[in-house]
Structures are given as structure tokens and as C-alpha cells.
Structure 1
Amino acid sequence: MSTPRHQAVMGLTGRSGSGKTHLMARLLPVLRARGVSVSTIKHTHHHIDIDKPGKDSFIHRQAGASEVMLVTPDRWILQHSQPEPGLPDILRRMARVDLVLIEGFHASVPATIEIYRADIGKEPLFKSPTNRILAVATTTPAAVSASFPTLDLDDTDAIASFILKNASSIQLT
């Protein structure tokens, strides 16, 4: 009988324009400098197509291929034409690393940090009881409920430490 694998994850969530991607880009070199291998997942609700009409891989997919792998000398991309898989299935397809940072999928990630900027004028997510937010990274801690730990959004080292201490584990069967 095989033993289920687990993968350490931490989500970064927040409203559009809050700085999730910017924080992710700052965290990656800090975590790697600490010897942590990190992969990322970016989830979007938008329908996008990385292929271009007329390209061979696009033609393969349009003709009915369920998967199309595009391979170049320095990277490869595997495209699937099927409904969105769940987070455990996505993680199962990825190479094992110490930590996966996930931007989006906030309802599926067991532990998240909300990036909140009061100045963008959007309601924070931490006010909803359905979120799995452990802390709020912000530039305006006074705007955050006292029931949430706050992290200085400009202190990347402190956020990295919080992530390493609080990353959650998802079971992959």
C-alpha cells in the first residue's frame, strides 16, 4: 500500500491590484536564499489562451488532442483541454518541492495570507468567515481587525519567516 504524499503550501490572496504578484516576486529570492525549493501556482478566473491561432500546438488542440505539450530548449508547457482540476490534482502533477506558493484558489488553500491595501478601495477578504486567512500583510495595520496577525507588507523577510512557520500541508493521494 502506498503512503499518501503531502505538499507544503501557502496561499497569497487579495483583491485585484493589492500586490499579490509583486509580493510573490519578492518572496521567491528570499526563500531560495534560505535554501527552500519553491514552485508557484497562479489561478485566474479569466479565460486565457497561451496558444496563438495558426501555431502547430493550437492546431493540434483545435483538432481534438486532449493534451498538447509544447517543448522548447529552455521550458515546456503541458496544456489540457478539460475542466479545471482541484488543487490536490494540480499539486500531484508538479515536481515535489519544499513549498508551493499559490496565488488564487483561496477557497482551496488551507492557509493563506491576505495582501490588503486600504488605498485600492476594495473590501478586504479577511472579513468573510469562509476564508482561511492566517494573517494580513498590509501597509495600514490599523485597518485590519485585531483578531488577525498583521505583517508589514514591506518586510519581505518577516513574511517569508511567517510562511515557513505556518505553511500548511495538503494530502495528495
Structure 2
Amino acid sequence: MLPILAIAAWSGTGKTTLLRQLIPLLKAQGIRPGLIKHTHHDMDVDKPGKDSYELRKAGADQVLVASQQRWALMTETAANETLDFNFLISRMDARSLDLILVEGFKDEPIPRIVLCRDRNEEEIKELLDEHVIAVASDRSLEVAVPRLNLNDPPQIAHFIMQWLKSAS
């Protein structure tokens, strides 16, 4: 099974910003990362007016769009259906990846790095549990796991590389 590592934090902390910096650093080390991002927003990766969008809106429950450069599978889910994290992981192609990064899903029992920026320590404690392997922060915190500098993506990438080595 592929190693899975979540980046978890409260909204607005900089999860996406950090991941945009970490992914190229990991790729430069030969790591092929995949990513699953959780969002609370209604989102659509397709565009109105495109054939795939129109066919999905006509009632297709799944639409797979493919070209030589990439492919995407869009699946309609029932209203208020709970996301099945393990099912989403199973959709990732383990043959072409070395690591699955996860943005969000802070309640899943998977290893994670918690980000902390401008929050009081009580709010951070809500995110700390036995699955947290490090805290990345821009301030001094007393935590029982390694504390990383949130403003030093190379340091965080190095930590992830070491974690991957110990996980294999």
C-alpha cells in the first residue's frame, strides 16, 4: 500500500500554499506524489458548454474525459452522501505514485502534519492526536512531536523524505 500523508489545518492556514511548494521539492527528490483534496464547496471540474459537461448534465452518472495528456473521471454522488476516504484512495493509481498527499480529511486515521499559524494553542490541541507526526508552525509551540518551520518548505520536504524512508 502506498504511504499516505495528510496536511491538516483549519481553513485559511495555508495548506494549499504549502503543498504547492512541497510537491516540486518532493518531485526533485524523485518522489511521484498524488494528491486528494477535500473541499466543502460545491465544485465542478468541467465547463458549461463542453460536450462532457452537457452529457453529465443529461444524466450520465460518470463521465471520463481522456486525451493524450491526461484523463479525468467525474462521478456524481448522491445528495448528502458521506465521502468514503478509502474508496477515494483506491481510485489513485498505485503503479505511478510513491506517495499520496491528502489536503484536509483531518478526521481520518492517517499520518498527518498539522499546520499552525496565528491560532491559540487550545484550537491546535483539537487537531492533535496519535496520528500527528509533526506540527509545522510559524511560532514556538510545546508539542510532543517534531515541530517544523511552516515558512521553510525545504525543511518540511526533508522531514517527509525521512518519514518515507522510515515507513518503507
TM class, shorter-chain normalised? 0.7 to 0.9
Q: Show structure 1 runs of 5+ residues with no match.
A: 1-5
1:166 is matched with 163
- After the TM superposition, which residues 42-121 of structure 1 pair with which residues of structure 2 at under 5 Å, given as runs? 42-82=37-77, 83=81, 85-96=83-94, 97-118=97-118
Decide which moves more: 38-47 or 130-139. Answer: 130-139
Residues 85-116 of structure 1: CA distance to partner in whole angstroms, max 9, x if unpaired? Answer: 42221121111111111101111151111111
Decide which moves more: 121-130 or 85-94. Answer: 121-130
Residue identity in the other structure for 1:154: N
Distance 1:54 1:32, change over 3 A: closer
RCO comparison, higher one (Cα < 8 Å, 6+)? 1
Aligned length: 161
Q: Distance in 1 between matches of 2:92 and 2:142?
A: 36
Distance 1:33 1:53, change over 3 A: closer
Secondary structure in structure 2 of the residue aligned to 1:7: coil
Q: Distance in 2 between matches of 1:139 and 1:7?
A: 30
Q: Distance in 1 between matches of 2:82 and 2:63?
A: 16
Asked if residue 27 in structure 1 is aligned to residue 25 in structure 2, the reply is: no
Q: Show structure 2 runs of 5+ residues with no match.
A: none
What TM-score does the superposition give when structure 2 sets the normalisation length? 0.81
2:126 is matched with 127
Q: Distance in 2 between matches of 1:49 and 1:122?
A: 36
Residues 5-45 of structure 1: CA distance to partner in whole angstroms, max 9, x if unpaired? Answer: x1201100112221111111111111111111111111111
Q: Distance in 2 between matches of 1:122 and 1:64?
A: 48
Secondary structure in structure 1 of the residue aligned to 2:133: strand
Q: Distance in 1 between matches of 2:22 and 2:49?
A: 38
1:156 is matched with 153
Q: Distance in 1 between matches of 2:128 and 2:114?
A: 13
Residue identity in the other structure for 1:152: N
1:140 is matched with 139
Q: Return the offset for 1:68.
A: 0.6
Distance 1:84 1:54, change over 3 A: farther
1:3 is matched with none
